[in-house]
Amino acid sequence: MKPLQVIDSHTEGEPTRIIIAGGPDLGAGDMATRRALFARHHDDVRRCALFEPRGWEALVGALLCEPVDPACAAGVIFFNKAGMLSMCGHGLMGLAVTLAHMGRISKGRHSVETPAGPVSFELLSQDTVRIENVAAYRHAASISVDVPGRGIVHGDIAWGGNWFFLTKARPCALEAQHIPQLTAYAQAIQDALNAAGLGGKDGLVDHIEVFGPPGEQGANARSFVLCPGGAYDRSPCGTGTSAKLACLAADGALAPGETWVQESIIGSRFSAHYRPSGEGRIIPTLTGRAWIMAQATLLRDENDPFADGMATG
């Protein structure tokens, strides 16, 4: 494996590590095709970039690719500790400030290709990004799942670039000191959904989103989001906020263009609104902030027993 050139950023507290050079050659197919090749033949790159001792559980990765459409600023494949992702809202904001840091884009509107489809964004300032996500929709409303030791939990299943189960049922207040309890609760829901075979159109739900009242004035709700692999999202979660907008739109609880401010478990925020897209779908728009943290070269010594990362759970 060649040395990996990476740029690290965080979006409202959630880290992203983008491989800008040294990654595998995945050919010239679309991002979904390249993602499949990455997962099948180059998973050692994902593990090397994200797993301890070079990474940590909350770190989300991305591979910068040349786009199929030359009008796009870039192509990108997102991944985390558990595997490949279709899209990543916070990661796209991190990608935007990374491309600006590299001198590849300036303020204004741009598009990137993702495995979930093309996504547009606007770089508003050095650290503020507005993204127009892929179409989001509610797949199933008010479903019930029997969670062992927790009882019946009701919620919606929605797509926002990833599959989410969204519920207002919570075991405690959505405060940072309760993160271990919330993690266990969300994981129990995830396990129960998987056991029951409940999911979206193309597979099982892979994110759990628990909602409650906001912690501070100016927000509409606070959420705790459990991501694949068992880490919680430090940001308000871009694809999760998109899924929430889809549910609100389906319920008639949020009008097109009306602002929804989503707060994360640590108090950071995304501002969001949507426009209808037809066939019960919406196009979400989200605004958040991201900052460059580091630029580095990741080295891999063949004699290192943890060259491909450590399996820490």
Q: What angle do CA 158, 159, 160 make, to 5 degrees?
A: 120
**For a pLDDT cut of 90, what percent of the chain falls above it?**
92
The percent helix, strand, coil of the chain (3-state, each to 5) is 20, 40, 40
**Model confidence pTM above 0.85:** yes
- Per-residue pLDDT band at 313 (split at 50, 70, 90): low
Predicted confidence at residue 312, as pLDDT, reads 66
Q: What is the pLDDT of residue 216?
A: 87
Query: What are the φ and ψ backbone dihedral angles of 246, each rounded to 5 degrees?
Result: -60, -40
**Active-site positions?**
88, 237
pLDDT at 204 over 90: no
What pLDDT is attached to residue 203? 80
- Average the pLDDT over 123-150 and give the result: 96
What is the per-residue pLDDT across 54-105, written as a single tens digit (0 to 9) for each?
999 999 999 999 999 999 999 999 999 999 998 999 999 999 999 999 999 9
**Angle between helix 43-50 and helix 31-41 axes, rounded to 10 deg:** 80
Instruction: Tell me the domains of the chain and their CATH numbers.
Output: 4-133+292-298 (3.10.310.10), 137-287 (3.10.310.10)
Per-residue pLDDT tens over the stretch 215-246: 989 999 999 999 998 999 999 999 999 999 99
